[in-house]
């Protein structure tokens, strides 16, 4: 075990996947705390961007790609994140819930087209349109649901953490270490955000933070399904995990004194399909996977 910990591969993984996003998250949280009295709006904005900033740092440490025009499927991810960092605050101020929902649908539709274009262009038009529409509809529906009024920051982050942690386990079993690294990076960013926001009592996720978490999760699931060859059952389990977690959050929210169950209930509900997905992936791991 000690030799494994000191291997160059493990040290490299810890540095890129854990240390880099954790340090960036801590710096963002410290900056928010510094501005909390002198400039409260700026402090709230920085605190809400802890997860996107930490994930981007991990993305560059793992993938080191910020090309334009994007050269690969994953090259689209940072550009969408930057666009959401600009568009999400504008949508929140301009039209509230309806405008945010329209933004989610637009980004999910365009993100699906960008991420799946190498596959869609090889299919007949009817098949390509059906595949695009189904994936975009599922992605945008969960995104809009996650952004519904009253969904707490902590429950949302906890649900996203469960899903990203499950993706980090399933991806390597399906043959894609890279996607596993990116999912683990998102999980580390979410853990850091939950801990730091809890310790400093700083503002929670901003609209841009929620939008970016929803985008990254959707992008990872799409890549796992279409490029790493993950089965539809596993993908369905991750979709169900997110939906069940949010459903539990809606149910518990009705009780004003839910206490710790406001977070525990969504976590437990989201964990059940993830455990099923990981179990299926372990059983199918002997078959191997494609991907990158």
What is the total count of domains within the chain?
1
Contact 183, 167 (CB under 8 A): yes
Provide the token pair at 88.
Answer: 């999400």
Residue 19 lies in a domain: yes
Instruction: Determine which of 94-108, 190-204, 232-246 has the lowest per-residue pLDDT on average.
Output: 190-204
pLDDT tens digits for range 130-158: 999 999 999 998 888 887 766 777 888 88
DSSP state of 286: G
DSSP state of 6: T
120 pLDDT more than 90: no
So what's the pLDDT on residue 67? 73
Provide the token pair at 31.
Answer: 């900056």
CA 236 to chain centroid? 16
Domain, as residue range, for 266: 2-287
Backbone φ/ψ region at 72: left (φ over 0), alpha (ψ -120 to 50), beta: beta
Residue 184 lies in a domain: yes
Percent of the chain with pLDDT over 70: 80
* Residues 95-102, mean pLDDT to the nearest whole number: 78
CA distance 70 to 30: 33
pLDDT tens digits for range 45-56: 666 788 888 899
Residue 292 lies in a domain: no
Say what angle helices 177-200 and 153-173 make with each other, to 10 degrees.
Answer: 160
- Write the CB contacts of 32 (distance below 8 Å, at least 6 apart in sequence): 43, 44, 46, 47, 50, 200, 202, 203
So what's the pLDDT on residue 239? 92
Residue 186 lies in a domain: yes
């Amino acid at each position: 075990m000690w030799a494994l910990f000191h291997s160059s591969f493990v040290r490299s993984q810890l540095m890129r996947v854990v240390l880099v996003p954790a340090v960036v998250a801590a710096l963002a949280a410290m900056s928010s705390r510094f501005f909390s009295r002198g400039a409260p709006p700026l402090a709230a904005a920085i605190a809400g961007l802890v997860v996107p900033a930490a994930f981007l740092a991990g993305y560059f440490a793992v993938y080191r790609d910020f090309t334009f025009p994007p050269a690969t499927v994953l090259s689209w991810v940072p550009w969408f994140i930057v666009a959401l960092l600009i568009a999400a605050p504008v949508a929140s101020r301009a039209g509230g819930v309806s405008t945010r929902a329209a933004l989610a649908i637009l980004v999910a539709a365009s993100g699906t087209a960008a991420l799946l274009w190498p596959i869609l262009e090889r299919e007949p038009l009817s098949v390509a349109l059906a595949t695009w529409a189904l994936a975009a509809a599922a992605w945008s529906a969960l995104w809009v649901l996650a952004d519904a009024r009253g969904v707490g920051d902590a429950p949302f982050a906890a649900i996203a953490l469960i899903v990203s942690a499950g993706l980090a386990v399933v991806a390597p079993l399906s043959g894609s270490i890279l996607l596993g690294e990116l999912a683990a990076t998102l999980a580390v960013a979410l853990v850091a955000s939950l801990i730091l926001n809890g310790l400093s009592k700083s503002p929670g996720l901003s609209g841009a933070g929620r939008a970016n978490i929803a985008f990254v999760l959707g992008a990872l699931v799409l890549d796992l399904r279409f490029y790493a060859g993950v089965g539809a059952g596993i993908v369905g389990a991750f979709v169900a995990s997110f939906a069940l977690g949010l459903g539990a959050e809606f149910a518990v929210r009705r009780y004003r004194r839910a206490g710790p169950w406001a977070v525990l209930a969504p976590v437990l509900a989201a964990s059940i399909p993830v455990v099923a997905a990981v179990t299926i992936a372990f059983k199918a791991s002997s078959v191997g996977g494609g991907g990158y």
